Amino acid sequence: MTKQTMSSDYYETLGVSRDASPEQIKKAYRQLAMKLHPDVASEPDAGDRFKKIAEAYEVLSDSSKRDIYDRGGDPLGGGMGGGGFNGGFGAAGGFDFTNLVDAMFGQQASRGPRSRVRRGQDALVRLDLELAEAAFGTTKPLRVDTAVLCPRCNGSGAQEGSQPVKCATCHGQGDVTHVQRSFIGDIRTTQPCPTCRGYGTVIPNPCTECSGDGRVRSNRTINVKIPPGVNTGNRIHLSSHGEVGPGGGPAGDLYVELNVHEHEIFKRNGDDLEMVVRIPMTAAALGTEVDVQTLEADLEDADEDETTVRLAVPAGTQSGTRIAVDGKGVPRLRAGGRGQLGVTLLVQTPVRINDEQRELLRQLAELREETRPEGTVQRHSKGVFGRLRDAFAGQ
């Protein structure tokens, strides 16, 4: 038989050139199959046209059949003679619908038994930290509820002395094929075996501890090392500390998301720490020195000289003045070094004074010619107002 005696030109049927690649042939068939499949097409001749493109794809997608066809031979062994295409769907007289799905969606369907052993899922847990713990680093115990290896069967899923046996339904293949007759021929669809769920084997005597899963739920405690400088939202990745997989498979990963509590004295701003210190009006006017607490005071093993820093307050300091102390902020997570400790001074005006103090203040006002002062509007920078707003909000 020559090409001229065949029912049609397969290349023309699929709309591809004679030197088309396997990928181009598959793409052309996929597009035509989605358009002409009898279940979706409305044209009255869709069934016949679908048979033709299926026949063309069967030949051109098989390198050996395509080679016979290109040399003028009959790639289907006479199946295209007077009797036609053997029902139009291959030499076996049926059409494997799974092949159509593969071609239409560009992927191979799952074939053969699947393994009972699979990797476990990753897990996400949250861990609360105090500000000092986040700043200087620590090691925290973390209790997690997760899947662990079954201690009775050691992950096999079977009772001691028992083992999985070949599934009688699928004969160890993991999937079963159903044949449905239609006007376009026999349509075969392949699905995972309902008896063994695609594993190809069944466990006749499952482990009583894990019911054949190879793992059980358990609470366990792990120690999480917290590096210095972390902040809320940072995650720590612990490889292979997640859930053990089915069948005793390798464990997934554990992600620990950190949440840092607010501090009663310090407010964190990136790598800087901010605090507010109130000083009397007279100290602000005359100048003074004050000892302010550092974050190291929250550490049990901190040296005493690290827990405070002496701050020089220059004479005439105004309320809202910020004095920065370098190297007393939060350690930088990756860059090294530490941020600043920013001390915002809030000048307090005395509320309750006795007669003697009132007289002294009156004399001071007279000496400064401030007995009847006029208010002066002063333009401040946005930063000063921001520091004052934060200071008063902390009262």
Phi/psi of residue 348, nearest 5 degrees: -100, 130
Tell me: is residue 207 an annotated ligand-binding position: yes
3-state secondary structure of 138: strand
> What pLDDT digit, counting tens, does each position of 71-122 carry?
777 777 643 333 333 333 333 344 445 555 555 444 444 456 888 899 999 9
Strand partners, 202: 165
CATH number of 3-105: 1.10.287.110
In whole angstroms, give the CA distance from residue 206 to residue 239: 30
CB 177 within 8 A of CB 190: yes
Tell me: is residue 65 an annotated ligand-binding position: no
Phi/psi of residue 221, nearest 5 degrees: -115, 130
CB 40 within 8 A of CB 49: no
Same CATH fold assignment for domains 3-105 and 267-393: no
Each domain of the chain, given as residue ranges in start order, spans 3-105, 123-154+208-260, 165-202, 267-393
Once rounded to an integer, what is the mean pLDDT over residues 338-351? 94
- pLDDT of 270 reads 93
- pLDDT of 331 reads 95
267-393: in CATH 2.60.260.20 = yes
**Dihedral (Cα; 195, 197, 202, 203), 10-degree rounding:** -120
- pLDDT of 186 reads 66
Tell me: is residue 246 an annotated ligand-binding position: no
- pLDDT of 376 reads 66
Tell me: is residue 368 an annotated ligand-binding position: no
- pLDDT of 161 reads 87
In whole angstroms, give the CA distance from residue 251 to residue 245: 6
- pLDDT of 254 reads 95
Tell which CATH architecture fits domain 123-154+208-260. Sandwich (2.60)
Question: Across all residues in the chain, what is the average pLDDT?
Answer: 83
Position 287 confidence tier, pLDDT thresholds 50, 70, 90? very high
The full DSSP string for 230-290 is --TT-EEEETT-SPPBGGGBPP--EEEEEEEPPPSS-EEETTEEEEEEEEEHHHHHH-EEE
Q: Is the pLDDT of residue 256 over 90?
A: yes
- pLDDT of 380 reads 56
Burial class of residue 137 (count of CB atoms within 10 Å of its CB; 0-12, 13-18, 19+): middle
Higher pLDDT, 266 or 71: 266
Tell me: is residue 381 an annotated ligand-binding position: no
Task: Give, in order, the Cα–Cα distances in Å from 265 to each of 165, 255, 261, 276, 395.
Answer: 67, 30, 12, 8, 11
Question: Which one, of 28, 49, 26, 55, lies nearest residue 37 by Cα?
Answer: 49
Q: Is the pLDDT of residue 390 over 90?
A: no
> What pLDDT digit, counting tens, does each position of 163-197 carry?
899 999 999 999 988 877 766 666 778 889 999 99
For 32-43, letters b (16+ CB in 10 Å) and e give bbeebbbeebee
The full DSSP string for 168-186 is TTTTTSSEEEEEEEETTEE
CB 103 within 8 A of CB 54: no
Task: Give, in order, the Cα–Cα distances in Å from 122 to each of 146, 194, 215, 282, 354.
Answer: 10, 28, 15, 61, 69
CB 133 within 8 A of CB 226: yes
Tell me: is residue 140 an annotated ligand-binding position: no
> What pLDDT digit, counting tens, does each position of 45-64 carry?
777 788 888 888 888 988 88
- pLDDT of 4 reads 36
Higher pLDDT, 322 or 190: 322
- pLDDT of 115 reads 87
**Dihedral (Cα; 106, 108, 109, 115), 10-degree rounding:** -140
Tell me: is residue 122 an annotated ligand-binding position: no
Tell me: is residue 133 an annotated ligand-binding position: no
Higher pLDDT, 12 or 95: 12
In whole angstroms, give the CA distance from residue 93 to residue 76: 12
- pLDDT of 63 reads 83
